[in-house]
Structure 1
Amino acid sequence: MPFRLPLLTAIALAAQLSIAGAQGMAVGFGGLRQDTGAPVEVTADALKVDNATGQATFDGNVVVVQGAMRMAAAKVTVDYGANGQGISRLHATGGVTLATSAEAAEAAEATYEVATGGLVMTGSVLLTQGGSTIAGERLVADLRAGTGEMQGRVKTVFQPGQKGGN
């Protein structure tokens, strides 16, 4: 019967996707792997610094570059480390896009822990890896290790014959 194998494959994929939707889906981030020790460059329309809180707020067409990774957002708040030494955390809001040459992710907001490489993106997250996409409500990634998990109601589209991170 010519339809048996494709039907079984479709059923298996549907079962895998419903499990993924309920529990979250592990994804690979080889293209988002990041050198967390690389310098961080920030460009924006405006900058406000608050020495009392150890924060700087970049506003308007913000672009953050670290190594091969580029993040764009409407607003980025930077938390500095102890005694104002180094950047400890970036919190981006307003149409956040994170991209490398191999992968891209979009969300409403993102928090990036510079020293550890921890990344959390929330709010209608869409991750594109090659021709494949994964969508969910929350993406938790370790950019140092190149691993991550999409959480919430997960939906994915795989392109046959292409290697994706999923």
Structure 2
Amino acid sequence: MPSNLRLLAAAAALVLLAAPIHAQEVTFGTMRADSDAPVEVSADQLSVNQSDGTALYSGNVVIGQGEMRLSAPRVLVVYAETRNAIARLEATGGVTLVSGTEAAEAERADYDIDAGTVTMSGNVLLTQGDNALTSERMVVDLDSGTAQMDGRVRTVLQPGGSE
């Protein structure tokens, strides 16, 4: 192959490797929920609405279940119809989800406890060791330890970095 064609082929390969991916599935090695573990919530304030079955935690909210931690300025807890269990959590105002060495940040997170999924949206940033991924939306399956990212996904992998 002539040298200018080799150079063109190498440049094309670099462009393909550097191009953002539009949808990507990633593994979350340690980010799994222990659905049998209790959900613990701490916050500066709590407002309970008996009529619609919700509770609003605000100010330095931290929610833990097993090894997983979610923090946000505001979290709305929606109880199941029987009101004996939490159906979902809606965190807003800048959310951080941490488990082990993995962390994800977004503007909003919705945790469906029965489905075992966390949907994060708005400027999602996922860090796994030295590697980083960004997107507009990420759905984490806490049972399988995987996530689907979509909406202009960009990945930065550090050579020799940890997973």
Consecutive unaligned residues of structure 1, counting only runs of 5 or more, are: none
Q: What per-residue deviation string (whole Å, max 9, x for no partner) do you get for residues 16-53 of structure 1?
A: x44x23xx111111121221221100000110111111
- Equivalent residue for 2:55? 56
Instruction: Answer with 1 or 2: which has the greater Rg.
Output: 2
- Equivalent residue for 2:119? 120
Q: What per-residue deviation string (whole Å, max 9, x for no partner) do you get for residues 132-160 of structure 1?
A: 00001101110111111111111110011
- Equivalent residue for 2:42? 43
SS in 2 for 1:31: coil
- Equivalent residue for 1:67? 66
1 or 2, which has the higher strand percentage? 2
- Equivalent residue for 2:159? 160
1:12 Cα deviation from its structure 2 partner: 4.3
Moved >4 Å (runs of 4+):
3-9
TM-score computed with the length of structure 2 as normaliser:
0.89
- Equivalent residue for 2:17? 13
1:59 Cα deviation from its structure 2 partner: 0.7
One-letter amino acid of the structure 2 residue matched with residue 74 of structure 1: P
Identity of aligned residues (%): 46
Could you tell me how far apart the structure 2 residues matched to 1:86 and 1:6 are?
Answer: 57
Could you tell me how far apart the structure 2 residues matched to 1:88 and 1:130 are?
Answer: 32
1:163 Cα deviation from its structure 2 partner: 4.3
The correspondence of residues 74-113 of structure 1 with structure 2, limited to 5 A, is 74-113=73-112
1 or 2, which has the higher helix percentage? 1
TM-score computed with the length of structure 1 as normaliser:
0.87
C-alpha RMSD of the superposition? 1.9
1:115 Cα deviation from its structure 2 partner: 2.0
SS in 2 for 1:85: coil
- Equivalent residue for 1:140? 139
CA contact (8 A) 1:77 1:90 kept: yes
1:9 Cα deviation from its structure 2 partner: 5.6
1:7 Cα deviation from its structure 2 partner: 5.4
Consecutive unaligned residues of structure 2, counting only runs of 5 or more, are: none
Could you tell me how far apart the structure 1 residues matched to 2:65 and 2:10 are?
Answer: 44
- Equivalent residue for 2:28? 29
